[in-house]
Amino acid sequence: MNFQANRRQKFLSEENYRLALDEIPLAIEQFKSGSAGSGVSAAEGWLISYRMIAFDLFNLLVLKYTGGEPIEALHGDIEGVVEAYEAATQQLRKYRGDPNAIGFPIDSFDGYCPCLGLISLCYLLRRRDLLPRIAALLDGPDNANVGADFLIEEFLAYAPMDRYESDTLLVTKPFESLADAMDSADNGHALLHLQRFLKRWYKELAGAPWHDAHKPDARGLTGGFYGYWSFEAAAAVLLLGIEDDSSLHPFLYYPRDLVAWAKAQ
């Protein structure tokens, strides 16, 4: 495989790609083998371990996409990511003694971005069957957390499944423009909002833990860079039925081939 020709973002070198492909599965196996030592108790340690497994599996999926892996292969991988978040949420609810504890900390970049990204990837990889399972991680068995965020509710409603009204946007920057796109009366206006969203996307996510991960360290390595992608913008194009998304193609963070693949299925 010609890595340089197949990679989907220029920031990822073949050396860093191969290194991460080796290291992430090793880290996952280590977290599976025992509770993380940073926890104050075994229960908290296991919670950290389960969360890190889910985090690493999500990053591995993104890394494979960035590195140029065929989209068909990712179609099967995403279920493992959802299973890992289910295990982490089960441990969280056990640890807190709260059956309705929410599986993603969606009031911060740390939880909101992967949550919306995972929901979006379910649409883009044609795995809508997984969306009720993600909704259960958010809602809780008693529906204690429903309607917490407008965009999450809006995206899940296309599954289709019965969802809830919400006027709250937990993370306004840069997601306010995406919310405006989803709430637009026509696709022409939606595209304008999506252009604004993508233009500001990277800059306004400066507080995200992965921001600037592409910058090399003293050894020239970019550990922790797996790809910068606005999967949610791509999912919006798919869900809104926007036929011509060419005005979004110049944006580095827009995964246009995922949209084309999803439309072709």
pLDDT at 220: 60
pLDDT at 219: 62
Q: What is the CATH number of domain 12-213+220-264?
A: 1.10.3920.10
Per-residue pLDDT of the chain (265 residues; tens, 9 = 90+): 699 999 999 999 999 999 999 999 999 999 999 888 777 788 899 999 999 999 999 999 999 999 999 999 999 999 999 999 999 999 999 999 999 999 999 999 899 999 999 999 999 999 999 999 999 999 999 999 999 999 999 999 999 899 999 999 999 999 999 999 999 999 999 999 999 999 999 999 998 888 999 987 656 655 689 999 999 999 999 999 999 999 999 999 999 999 999 999 8
pLDDT at 207: 87
Q: How far is CA 149 from CA 88, 138, 146, 166, 187, in A?
A: 21, 11, 8, 6, 22
Q: How far is CA 59 from CA 20, 32, 83, 106, 187, in A?
A: 10, 17, 14, 18, 31
pLDDT at 56: 97
Considering only CA atoms, which of 122, 41, 49 is closest in space to residue 80? 122
Domain ranges of the chain: 12-213+220-264
Gyration radius (Cα) of the chain, Å: 18
pLDDT at 156: 97
pLDDT at 40: 78
Q: Strand, coil or helix: what is 14? A: helix
pTM for this model (two decimals): 0.95
Contacts of 35 (CB under 8 A, 6+ apart): 42, 43, 44, 45, 46, 48, 49
CB atoms within 10 A of CB 265: 10
Q: Which amino acid is at 171?
A: V
Contacts of 203 (CB under 8 A, 6+ apart): 174
For residue 90, how many C-alpha atoms fall within 13 Å in the half-sphere facing its CB? 9
